[in-house]
């Protein structure tokens, strides 16, 4: 590793501002004078400007003004010619929707257009011209973290929708600015690229300001681009992953939900708009699960409990979302119950929750049993036992599984997580009922719930090596993803299931420690603090396409 100079002992805020820190404690003088929150002196990537920061907003406006004055004006007179923020033409594929790969297109067709698109991004500037950070970051982001091509039956997130919408918008659009912010933040997590973090924060501020402007126009506010940009803002918060970003992440998801409701039934008439609806619906369910907050099932104009279309017309991934839509309610009711002192009048509520959870669990099991063969895991080996490393071993004893690709494996893991939630609710309610000594423990119900939880936990453990190894991911190799990026995606998509499995009450302590060790390994390997890993787990966005390099 090349020597990069003596490391500064100043706070991270002063380092990001490139000013000398007086190193006063508990907060440095510069932060106190400028009314900034001093993050302290740890080497953590957790210093981000917030969109409500007025000083940042002024800085963003001034920066944009200077860049506009200095940039060379290029008119996108030809179809497919976009102007980059730096005044250089950016040649992209034809922005007409019919010419852009769409969910369900064949793998070969997607690959062809995909490589052409990436080539246009990477060769937009002559070699003699200094490449801007954005010109590096955006192709890097598209190549490694936008999930195309992907099986049509496993698509329900929003990143796979980014390409067609990105292509039909100019670089001054909110969507382009949001993509730039996310790409810079993702690229800035890599060695030698930390200086891009401030650029990402500036781009994020620009995008927020532009969205606020767009929201004054009802037509633009309800557009696919505005909703997708809002979801990208939540992705930006995921990538920064600090204890301060959880609320901002939830606010962005809530904003996308509100805009989606405003669109009513008209959004179901356009295939792409319908896909955006499904992406928002998935994020809504995930947000509610994380917060144990029941989904608002009040129908909006033209909608029916967020069904959108008939259940049978949804692909496998979206059918899972619709089955899981009641799980936040189950969790919320269970939490309320177990936090209450025992009362005979609440026994009926406990029994109702058990029945409700069993019904949802049966639907989940049926969903899994009807999956096509391509979704099933492949048996790749048998781990005989814990080695001398103990909890540090790479694989948990038992079968080892591989899948077609990481996105598909992530959705199957979400199925397991949802069944764990259902069975944990049953365990808690059964235990609550037996708080009264006159009630006998329903051993059959309790033991069945514990058995299913252990079965789901073991299956999660079995796929951990697959997620963490590029050599076990043929699709990632075929798509020419970078090894670190592919393994990073696989690792981060494990954070949520690992966290849930480690917190299941009936799982053996030794196995819990192994899950926690895998979480620590992910954080250590990819430069994350324990706080950041915990925030990622709580946000639970990975199964919807949110990626963390």
**Level-2 CATH architecture, domain 1-43:** Irregular (4.10)
Q: How far apart are CA 184 and CA 200, in angstroms?
A: 5
Q: Structural domain boundaries of the chain?
A: 1-43, 54-291, 326-544
Give residue 402's pLDDT: 95
Which pLDDT does position 518 carry in this prediction? 92
Predicted pLDDT of residue 305: 58
Do residues 268 and 280 touch, judged by C-beta distance below 8 A?
Answer: no
Q: pLDDT tens track of the chain, all 549 residues?
A: 233 334 456 787 887 777 888 878 778 888 888 888 887 764 332 222 233 334 334 434 444 454 444 444 333 333 232 332 222 222 233 323 233 333 333 444 444 444 454 454 444 444 444 567 788 888 888 877 775 455 655 566 677 788 888 888 888 899 999 999 989 988 887 767 888 888 999 999 999 999 999 999 989 998 999 999 998 998 888 777 665 666 777 788 888 888 888 888 888 888 888 888 888 888 887 777 766 677 776 666 555 556 655 556 677 888 888 888 888 889 889 999 998 888 888 999 999 999 999 999 999 999 999 998 888 999 999 988 776 666 778 899 999 999 998 888 988 999 999 999 999 999 999 989 887 767 666 678 999 999 999 999 999 999 999 999 999 998 888 877 888 888 888 887 888 899 899 999 999 999 999 999 998 888 878 766 666 666 666 555 433 333 332
| Per-residue pLDDT at 156 | 60
Sign of CA dihedral 236, 239, 243, 249: positive
- 3-state SS class at 475: helix
CB 411 within 8 Å of CB 367: no
Find out whether the peptide bond into 292 is cis, omega within 30 degrees of 0. Answer: no
CB 531 within 8 A of CB 243: yes
Q: 387 to each of 390, 394, 468, how far by Cα in Å?
A: 6, 9, 19
As a whole number of angstroms, the distance between CA 346 and CA 349 comes to: 5
Q: Are the C-beta atoms of residues 40 and 46 closer than 8 Å to each other?
A: no
Instruction: State whether the Cα torsion 534-8-133-111 is positive or negative.
Output: negative
DSSP secondary structure string, 396-454?
-SEEEEE-S-HHHHHHHHHHHHHHHHHHHHHHHHHHHHTTSTTSPP-HHHHHHHHHHHH
Predicted local confidence at residue 43, as pLDDT: 33
**Positive or negative CA dihedral for 246, 247, 248, 254?**
positive
Torsion angle (degrees, nearest 10) of CA 195, 140, 467, 393: -30
Q: What is the largest CA-CA distance in the chain?
A: 83
| The predicted structure's pLDDT at residue 56 | 38
pTM over 0.75: no
pLDDT given at position 2: 30
Residues near 483 by beta carbon (within 8 Å), at least 6 away in sequence: 470
SS3 of 22, please? coil
Task: Give the C-alpha distances (Å, rounded to integers) separating 346 from 333, 432, 434.
Answer: 11, 9, 12
CA pair distance 82, 90, nearest whole angstrom: 5
At 485 the pLDDT is 80
Burial of 536 (0-12, 13-18, 19+ CB in 10 A): buried
Distances (CA, A) of 97 to 139, 225, 444: 20, 13, 55
- The structure tokens listed for 245 are 């970003």
User: b/e string for 39-56 if b means 16 or more Cβ within 10 A?
Assistant: bbbeeebbbbbebebeeb
């Amino acid at each position: 590793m090349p020597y990069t100079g003596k490391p500064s002992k100043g706070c991270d805020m002063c380092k990001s501002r490139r000013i000398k820190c007086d190193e006063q404690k508990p907060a440095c003088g510069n932060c106190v004078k400028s009314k900034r929150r001093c993050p302290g002196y740890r080497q953590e990537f957790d210093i981000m400007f917030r969109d409500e920061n007025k000083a940042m907003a002024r800085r963003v406006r001034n920066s944009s003004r200077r860049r506009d004055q200095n940039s060379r004006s290029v008119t996108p007179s030809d179809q497919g010619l976009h102007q980059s923020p730096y005044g250089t033409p950016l040649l992209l594929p034809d922005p007409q929707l019919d010419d852009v790969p769409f969910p369900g297109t064949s793998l070969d067709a997607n690959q062809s257009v995909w490589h052409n698109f990436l080539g246009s991004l990477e060769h937009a500037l002559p070699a003699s011209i200094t490449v801007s950070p954005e010109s590096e970051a955006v192709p890097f982001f598209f190549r490694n973290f936008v999930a195309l091509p992907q099986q049509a039956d496993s698509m329900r997130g929003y990143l796979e929708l980014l390409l067609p919408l990105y292509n039909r918008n100019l670089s001054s659009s909110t969507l382009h600015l949001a993509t730039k912010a996310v790409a810079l933040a993702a690229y800035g997590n890599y060695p030698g690229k930390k200086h891009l973090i401030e650029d990402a924060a500036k781009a994020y501020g620009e995008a927020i300001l532009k969205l606020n402007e767009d929201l004054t126009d009802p037509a633009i506010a309800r557009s696919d681009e505005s909703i997708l940009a809002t979801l990208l803002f939540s992705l930006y918060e995921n990538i920064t992953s600090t204890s301060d970003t959880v609320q901002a992440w939830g606010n962005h998801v809530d904003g996308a939900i509100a805009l989606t409701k405003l669109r009513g039934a008209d959004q179901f008439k356009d295939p792409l708009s319908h896909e955006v609806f499904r992406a928002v619906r998935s994020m809504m369910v995930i947000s509610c699960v994380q917060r144990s907050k029941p989904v608002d099932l009040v129908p909006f104009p033209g909608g029916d409990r967020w069904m959108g279309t008939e259940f049978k017309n949804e692909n496998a991934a979206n059918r899972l979302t619709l089955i899981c839509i009641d799980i936040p309610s189950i969790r919320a009711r269970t939490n309320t119950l177990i936090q209450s002192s025992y009362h005979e009048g609440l026994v009926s509520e406990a029994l109702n929750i058990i029945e409700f959870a069993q019904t949802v669990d049966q639907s989940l099991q049926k969903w899994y049993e009807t999956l096509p063969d391509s979704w099933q895991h492949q048996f790749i080996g048998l781990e005989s036992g814990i080695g001398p490393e103990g909890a540090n071993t790479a694989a948990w004893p038992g079968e080892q599984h591989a899948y077609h690709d990481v996105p598909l494996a992530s959705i199957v893991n979400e199925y397991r997580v949802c069944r764990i939630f259902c069975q944990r609710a049953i365990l808690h309610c059964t235990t609550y009922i037996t708080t009264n000594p006159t009630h006998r423990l329903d051993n059959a119900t309790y033991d069945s719930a514990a058995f299913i939880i252990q079965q789901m936990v073991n299956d999660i453990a079995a796929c951990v090596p697959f997620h963490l190894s590029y050599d076990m991911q043929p699709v990632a190799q075929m798509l020419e993803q970078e090894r670190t990026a592919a393994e990073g995606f696989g690792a981060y998509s494990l954070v949520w299931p690992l966290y849930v499995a480690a917190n299941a009450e009936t799982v053996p302590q030794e196995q819990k420690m192994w899950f926690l060790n895998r979480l620590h390994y992910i954080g250590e390997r990819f430069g994350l603090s324990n706080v950041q890993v915990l925030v990622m787990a709580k946000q639970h966005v990975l199964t919807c396409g949110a990626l963390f390099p």
